[in-house]
Amino acid sequence: MVAESTPSGGLGRRDVVARLVAARDDALIVSGLGSPTYDVHAARDDQRNYYLWGAMGGAALVGLGLALAQPDRRVLVITGDGEQLMAIGALATIAVANPANLDIVVLDNERYGETGMQESHTANGIDLAAIAAASGFADTAVVRSDEELDVLIDGAWPAQASTSSQISEAGPRLYVLKVDKDSPPRSMPSRDAVFIKNRVRAHLGLGPN
C-alpha cells in the first residue's frame, strides 16, 4: 500500500503525545524504543507506562500480550514508524488475535530517528494504516492536522472509555500520526527494565516476577 509522503511541518510530536497521554483515562501505555519512550515520559511518568528500551519491533506485540492478559483494560501502544516497520508481520498476528482493547498509534516522521534520521519506507509511500486495514484491523486512519487529531481523540478515546463496559467489541485499531522531523530533548525514564516491568505488575496487582 502506498500513500503520499508528508510535507515538512507535520504535527508536533511532543504536543501530540501529551494530548494522547492526557486522554488515556486508565489505559496502560506501551512505548516503543527511542523517541516514543522519551515523548511519553516527557508527558508524564506513570506506573501504568511500560517503556521499551530495546527489542525493536516489539512494542505492538508487547501491547498485544498485555491486551490479551488484561481484557478489561485498554492498552495503548505509542511507537514510531521505523519500529513498526521492523515488525510489519505483527499487524497480521494482532488482527487474527482480534483484541478489542488494543490501540496502536504510530508516530510517523518518516525517519529512523535512533540511527541518524535516515528515511524510512513511509517516506517512500508505504502506508501502515492501509496495511493494518488490509490485515483486518477494525479501524485505521492517517492523521495530518490538529483538527483531525481532535476528531480522533474525541471519537476513539472519549472520557472514561477505558472501563470494560465501554471497550469496543470491534477489534484492534491503528492510527498513523504524521509528525514533524524535529528531535526534542530526550526525557529519560529509568533504564532498569526489571524495575519498569515490576512497577507495571504492581499496578496490576501482580507480584514481582
Distance CA 186, CA 37 (A): 9
Strands in 49-51's sheet, in edge-to-edge order, are 49-51, 28-31, 75-80, 102-108, 173-178, 139-143
pLDDT of res. 4: 47
pLDDT of res. 168: 59
Distance CA 100, CA 38 (A): 27
pLDDT of res. 55: 82
Residue 118: phi and psi, rounded to 5, are -65, 150
pLDDT of res. 110: 80
Give pTM, 2 decimals: 0.89
pLDDT of res. 105: 97
The SS3 assignment for 19 reads: helix
User: For 82-94, b where at least 16 C-beta lie within 10 A, e where not — what string?
Assistant: bbbbbbbebbeeb
pLDDT of res. 163: 47
Distance CA 21, CA 76 (A): 9
pLDDT of res. 167: 62
CA distances (Å), 56 to each of 12, 32, 81, 161, 167, in order? Answer: 23, 8, 11, 29, 28
Domains located in the chain, CATH noted: 13-203 (3.40.50.970)
pLDDT of res. 32: 94
Pairing label, strands 28-31, 102-108? unpaired
Average pLDDT per run of 10 along the chain, which is 209 residues long? 51 95 94 94 97 90 97 95 92 97 93 69 88 96 94 75 55 94 89 94 88
157 CB-side CA count, 13 A? 26
pLDDT of res. 116: 57
Q: What is the DSSP string of 151-191?
A: HHHHHHS-TTTTSGGGS-SS--EEEEEEB----PPP-----
pLDDT of res. 184: 85
